[in-house]
Amino acid sequence: MTNVAAHAASCTNVAFVNTLMPQPAKIATAPGCLTLDNTFSVSIAAYRDARLDAATERMLNRLSRLAAVPHHLAIQSGTSADLVIDVKGQGSVVPSLDDDESYVLNVTNDHARLEANTVVGAMRGMETFLQLVQANGGSGFAVPGVEIHDQPRFRWRGLMIDTGRHFEPVSVIERTLDGMAAVKLNVFHWHLTEDQGFRIESRRFPKLTGMGSDGLYYTQEQAREVIAYAAARGIRVVPEFDMPGHTTSWLVGYPELGSAPGPYEVQRTFGVHDAAFDPTRESTYKFLDEFIEEMADLFPDAYMHLGGDESNGKQWRANPEIERFMKEHNIATTQALQTYFSQRVEKLLEQHHKHMVGWDEVLQPNLPKDVVVQSWRGTHYLADAARQGNQGILSAPYYLDHMDSAAQVYLADPLPGGEQLTAEQANLVLGGELCMWGEHVVPRTIDSRIWPRAAAIAERFWSPASVNDVNDMYRRLGVMSLRLEAVGLTHISGPEAGLRQLAGSEDDGALRTLASVVQPVDFGQRYREQRTSQLTPMNLLVDSVRPDPPMRHELEMLVEGFLADSSHKKNRDELMAIFHQWVAAGPGLEAIANRSPLLADARPRAAELSVLGRMGLDAVSSLSAGKRRPAGWASRSLETLTRDKNHNGLVDFVVLGPLEKLVGAAGKVR
């Protein structure tokens, strides 16, 4: 029997289970499937370069781990292989906004063929090919027959990481880039300067890091390494140097740039600080011209982000020279003075062949049309920018530190609904960016704050707007979460390690039960309760639980199914098992809390969990048997649930909504 015939014979009964994320633009199933075994081979049929070879090698390495396919054969040339990669040309040498990321993937019984116009398009198709791999019964792995025509809906699909408030080492950045590539995100927005730290080496102005970084910064060699690592995965790197506010770390070494005389110190506290560049001095622009020239040489992307957010103008109003300048130039407000500053620095960027990106505070009537507006305060700023003729990026719904569920961010579309944009204006919306601000994340915790929710947002940026089934998204997100762990992300293992440290033991089952039903409070609530600073240890329960844990949606689905048919044994039994586990966790949680001072704030949540478990058991029992609960039970239970909605121990319960539905239904049994 030939190899092709063997493949066909062993694959006839494999059904396609769609777990792709993001969903392709067009997908159709086809007969048969392609077996993955020790004879599996790959060839590159047409254009070939080092970047394509490296991407193919990475795919084969992951395929080896995923499906036990031995990686021992060299990548072939020609068209006689199990997977043929046919690329027309290189595409952009430097990843760009205009990269063609489209691809076509066909899988049949005898082979798979991936076609793309560019190397980046081929990379996107390789990720889809890896996601198609599924078990072939008990006899190995296969790729089901499909025909996929795919391309992104938006050109700018980004993730911003703030490394100014808490420094993140290169290893964190690079594993993040691997995760981004897996879900087809294509812009890494690197927030490099903040009041709390200046994080990129400047050889022209060495005091920026020498005095403003606490020794925590990226050398230019490390930056080049990150840029190359990203480019190899088809990801752009857009640096951000925030100005004129959020600039304390600049002013520690160069106080002459400031609007007040100083001296300045690196800030440890968070929030909006008064420090700001003096926009009226020519020396400020001379300094920035030289700095931008140096950074333009380091970062090859055509875009550079210059911040522009949260400059409160207090230092400007307190400076008589700046007040005099404003009067002489008919500048009535500090907002207008910031526009003057934005116009000046935009010209500097233009001289160095860069396009400016700024937060939506830069949006003023006379903003140059070349400036890209990043909307963080609301979707209407994005719409206003488009009406004004400026391109824009939406970030307002995608602030990961708000701890919104994957469902909430998934349904937030980059094109503002109800804004009545023309087709031409809508075309100015380039896409969106997730934002991971750094106040409350450190290397051990950052992955769990980004992933897997980022995969749901990545689908919103890539897939057609009609792909919006939340339940199906969660079904696929559970699978995608494990794939992301396989590429090196620690969003699962990091919190688990934190729980073991809190418990002081590997026997942390009770604590894991509590962690499965709570999530961190949002940034603002934690800051208000704990008054966090850059020096605050991130080692409490809040730092070892995940936003939108799987139990939240799982319980919603179980309760919905049970209430639709309370005689359904499977749903009933699963609910009873969950609630019994909550009750049983009580003694273990008490024992762990007694030996772990770091869990002191979480004690109330531990006690409440057993109460919630008993409440759930009572409700399910009542509904299953059709027996009413004692008088007043429902009202007391609902009061408890209302009380448990209050923030406590820096974590919030995520299971109260389904419990309310159960209690409400049980309270109606007569």
- pLDDT for res 71: 75
Rounded to an integer, the average pLDDT of 8-30 is: 84
pLDDT one-digit tens code per residue, 599-608 = 998 899 999 9
- pLDDT for res 14: 74
| Listed residue (23, 30, 77) closest to 464, CA to CA | 23
Determine whether 310 is an active site residue: yes
Active-site annotation holder among 310, 485, 496, 590: 310
The encoded tokens of residue 211 equal: 């005095």
CA torsion through residues 223, 227, 230, 236, sign:
positive
* Contact call for residues 548 and 606 (beta carbons, < 8 A): no
Q: Could you identify the residue written with the tokens 């025909």?
A: 147
pLDDT one-digit tens code per residue, 426-461 = 999 999 999 999 999 999 999 999 999 999 999 999
Least confident of 2-16, 276-290, 380-394, 506-520: 2-16
Residue 12: band (very low, low, confident or very high) from pLDDT cuts 50, 70, 90: low
* Contact call for residues 436 and 395 (beta carbons, < 8 A): no
β-pairing, 187-191 vs 236-243, is parallel
Please give the Cα distance from 287 to 307 (Å, whole number). 17
* Higher-confidence position of 536 and 3: 536
Residue 568: band (very low, low, confident or very high) from pLDDT cuts 50, 70, 90: confident
Residue 302: band (very low, low, confident or very high) from pLDDT cuts 50, 70, 90: very high
A 10 A CB-CB count for 81 gives 20
Whole-angstrom Cα Rg for the chain: 27
Residue 366 — φ and ψ, nearest 5°?
A: -105, 25
Spatial CB neighbours of 60, under 8 Å, sequence gap ≥ 6:
42, 69, 71, 75
- pLDDT for res 5: 44
pLDDT one-digit tens code per residue, 121-170 = 999 999 999 999 999 877 789 999 999 999 999 999 999 999 999 999 99
* Contact call for residues 546 and 481 (beta carbons, < 8 A): no
Rounded to an integer, the average pLDDT of 260-279 is: 96
Predicted TM-score of the model (pTM): 0.96
Residue 177 scores a pLDDT above 90: yes
Residue 416: band (very low, low, confident or very high) from pLDDT cuts 50, 70, 90: confident
H-run or E-run covering 261:
none
Write the DSSP string, 9-62: HTTTTPPP----SSPPSEEEEEEEEEEESTT--EEE-S---HHHHHHHHHHHHH
Residue 567: band (very low, low, confident or very high) from pLDDT cuts 50, 70, 90: confident
Instruction: Name residue 431's beta-bridge partners.
Output: 156, 393
Residue 53: band (very low, low, confident or very high) from pLDDT cuts 50, 70, 90: very high
Instruction: Name residue 188's beta-bridge partners.
Output: 159, 237
Please give the Cα distance from 168 to 166 (Å, whole number). 6
